[in-house]
Structure 1
């Protein structure tokens, strides 16, 4: 009996030890990616990052298949899915389950307190039948516009989610026009054979005459006074919807799901609060015009983490309305964290603009990788936008095979692809001085550190306006391999510290034009530099080079277009 008690006690002790060990492991080794880094990030920049609330749902589950839905890819499940979502919401919320299968559907309308859960072996497939999508008064590129309703939408909702590990497919191929230059000859021939029509320039394929008419109509989507939606019906195909649009919603979670093949932008949260994207995969063809990954517009308290973007336009993009409409709205995108994400093909990895008229501030971006994007960090605007983008903190970004610039600030955005197509010739914008008004945009107070880039056309490019320079930009600890070095135009109060370059063309390595108070500290090159710096423009003053390992002899520096040798100080 005593032996039994001892053995029993030993079993209890062993179980307790295993339990304690398991609890210790769960506390030490959960997937807490970013916690230590977050502390380091906040301590270094001396910032306080936002706390984002996430939704909580009842456990009640509503399986669409038990309400008559069929996952055969043929039966149209629109009414059943929407009725199930409504029933779930009306009963206090819970989970609407999309089980394994191909679930063909038209537009889906989210409701409060509903978690739309897509199983791993499920495809929520939106129909090719455009008649299923009504024309509505929506929003496009920061302005009120005529649109086809989105495959998934929600307005003024609270506590909602789309979760799971399945696929949501927007059937975007039936909506999009395609440029010939972005396809192989064989792909182009097959596309033309599929139907639709080719434009007069023989360079663009259109899915229908309706689309072509919209494309040829100036401001086709602008809602004009005195017109009804019926007046736009003959151009209906042109008003491509975004795959998911959530407007003025609070406490939103998008987790685990693949959102793919969108007619236009993939994910568009507009004026939302407490928004989390976690483990999402946004996927569009590389040739998908306006095929952005996520466009966070005028939102507050946002987390984008552990997600992947492989799309046809900008990857992670921050917006806040366009021109006068955006300024009247007056809602910046603020308090956003973007961490531990990967962006593959995209026009830009992390992007702000160009529709940033309501401003952007308190954006915290770190531990992201950009592979094969046109631009790495891309900040774009133009005259007429107005708005202030400030208090931007970026750290620990890794880039590879960037087609254009690793870091690009441009205040002359012209709605063109950032990298010219083969044989495309672009003229530099005409430089004119305009008065500063509420239409004048601003980029200021950016803090960027710990950047590694293996391959780019150019390391750093900044182009401000004569009346409003890009200013107060702080770059530190950058190692960049590129064909060309640094170009700064109409920039002020720029600090670049510990810039390590491996550049194929140092002709020159650095070009500073009509800029002031530009500091290069700890400049280093891994290759011989024959031509270090060209300083140009009569307005250029206060350029400083200190602690450089590159020779700063006079024969390596030139002064052009009225610049004086007094503009440069070397220590």
Structure 2
């Protein structure tokens, strides 16, 4: 393959091309392999679904790499195996009809030092693993199954009564409340330990974690510090935890990959790009139990010390079905994220559509995010969400969980203060959401410089904007059921509402509150469609809002 210049790829893609003119993104260095092909059968693999083929995979991959690289072929059939460890210059190719079934025996996966949710940790070896490699690929039309049910805890609230009864009858262990199932008694016991698996001064060797091994679910496809990576064509499903996790990798192409996990599968994100640079994600299909496309860069102090942002990526022509979020940044974004371009994506039935989440203590800067062309249906939560109060909860509260907003008290700005700024979002439609747009910054650090243009959002609530600065909505239609008010702004400044459309007969078009609210401009908007154009809430300055008649 020839090197692909990201900036060049944007040419001819309408509005996104204009967004991407500066900066020019660097070239993506692509993979190239010798034509030599080695079948795993040559090294003793048996496709009977009973024979453990771990050694056959290892021998085939080693032989291919030692010979200078090429293709390791997995023919059609059912291949049972333990972990597969990739090597330099190897393309692991799954023929159409090939099913690689990873073992459900947790003893087949040794503990290793790795990373978990942005922190240095010990986990079980991933079913698909590679570290410090160059020029590697996984391709073909086959399927990987991660035997995730052998690893994942399950909440009773996520299953039907019959499903829950069957799960409990299968073995494992229940917590004291009988509302959480664990695959083993060791896994249950480890769930009560603070930060199980995380490396500390007191626990710094792999052997220190043997007593919690069952709980330390591996990410399914883990690539660390790799360069020139191609993932193309295959299906990857039933992951123990995160499904595809490149960490500190450069030059990545992910094309035509399908990731499928049970909707109740905790932490089963489809794609987590963590502290990675330069790449393309296109023509993929994700249907999982957690976030779909997710951008990360480390957690809290460790992430800031690493200091490597995820940057210079294009995401396009990808569908996300069930997931917590369609396109997500955070919450572990302490190393930052920048220069990300999203185009022509579809989210159907996700909890949130565009989800940008962080929290105090993370630090890091997320900036220069460009989105053009996103269509959504049946979004349970927010169509567009900026949230600096992320609390590691499901975005749609379960029955009995509090829905009260957090109390907003200012705290000192420091290295742990996160920043979200410079977002351009265009050409978005959403048919069905709880809230169209929710912007929720911190009193000490507003969400800054967000432009949303040409959007039609059908939702229960329209706009909620708190602790924000320089937010611009232009040609945005808010078809909200809640009309008292359609838009609510609290302690925000320099907000422009230009060409806003909403359903006729609304009770209140705009409510503003908070003594720090100022310079709210409404222009090119028919204020007469509402019974009341502006309602001044608690402590709002009288001159906070100006209206230019259309």
Q: Deviations over 1:344-367 (max 9, x none)?
A: 000000000000000000001110
Q: Is 1:307 the counterpart of 2:284 in the alignment?
A: yes
From 156, 160, 167, the counterpart of 2:136: 160
Partner of 1:38: 13
Partner of 1:19: none
- 5 Å-filtered alignment, 1:45-194, equals 45-47=20-22, 48-194=24-170
Whole-angstrom distance in 2 between the partners of 1:355 and 1:553: 41
Whole-angstrom distance in 2 between the partners of 1:515 and 1:226: 45
TM-superposed deviation, 1:75: 0.3
Q: Report if aligned partners of 1:502, 1:527 keep a CA contact under 8 Å in 2.
A: no
Q: Is 1:366 the counterpart of 2:373 in the alignment?
A: no
Whole-angstrom distance in 2 between the partners of 1:565 and 1:555: 16
Partner SS, residue 289 of structure 1: coil
Larger relative helix fraction: 1
RMSD between aligned alpha carbons?
1.4
Partner of 1:391: 368
From 223, 247, 251, the counterpart of 1:270: 247
TM-superposed deviation, 1:502: 1.4
Partner of 1:562: 539
- 5 Å-filtered alignment, 1:335-354, equals 335-354=312-331
Q: Report if aligned partners of 2:506, 2:530 keep a CA contact under 8 Å in 1.
A: no
Equivalent residue pairs, number: 539
Larger-Rg structure: 1
Partner SS, residue 506 of structure 2: coil
Whole-angstrom distance in 2 between the partners of 1:45 and 1:254: 25
Partner SS, residue 92 of structure 1: coil
Whole-angstrom distance in 2 between the partners of 1:541 and 1:342: 39
Partner of 2:199: 223
Partner SS, residue 239 of structure 2: coil
Q: CA distance change for structure 1 residues 544 and 35 in 2, over 3 Å: closer, same or farther?
A: closer
- 5 Å-filtered alignment, 1:365-514, equals 365-514=342-491
Partner of 1:292: 269
TM-superposed deviation, 1:475: 0.8
Whole-angstrom distance in 2 between the partners of 1:39 and 1:55: 29
TM-superposed deviation, 1:290: 0.2
Query: Which structure 1 residue ranges, 4+ long, deviate > 6 Å from structure 2?
Result: none
TM-superposed deviation, 1:46: 3.2
Q: Deviations over 1:116-135 (max 9, x none)?
A: 00111111110011111111
Whole-angstrom distance in 2 between the partners of 1:158 and 1:46: 30
TM-superposed deviation, 1:38: 3.2
Q: Report if aligned partners of 1:515, 1:539 keep a CA contact under 8 Å in 2.
A: yes
For structure 1, the residue ranges without an aligned partner over 5 or more in a row are: 1-33
Q: CA distance change for structure 1 residues 35 and 539 in 2, over 3 Å: closer, same or farther?
A: closer
Larger relative strand fraction: 2
TM-superposed deviation, 1:428: 1.9
Partner of 2:3: none
Q: Report if aligned partners of 1:523, 1:550 keep a CA contact under 8 Å in 2.
A: no
Q: Is 1:517 the counterpart of 2:528 in the alignment?
A: no
TM norm structure 2: 0.96
TM-superposed deviation, 1:40: 4.2
TM-superposed deviation, 1:531: 1.3
Q: Report if aligned partners of 1:49, 1:364 keep a CA contact under 8 Å in 2.
A: no
Q: Deviations over 1:532-557 (max 9, x none)?
A: 11101000000010000242778332
Q: Which moved more, 1:544-553 or 1:335-344?
A: 544-553
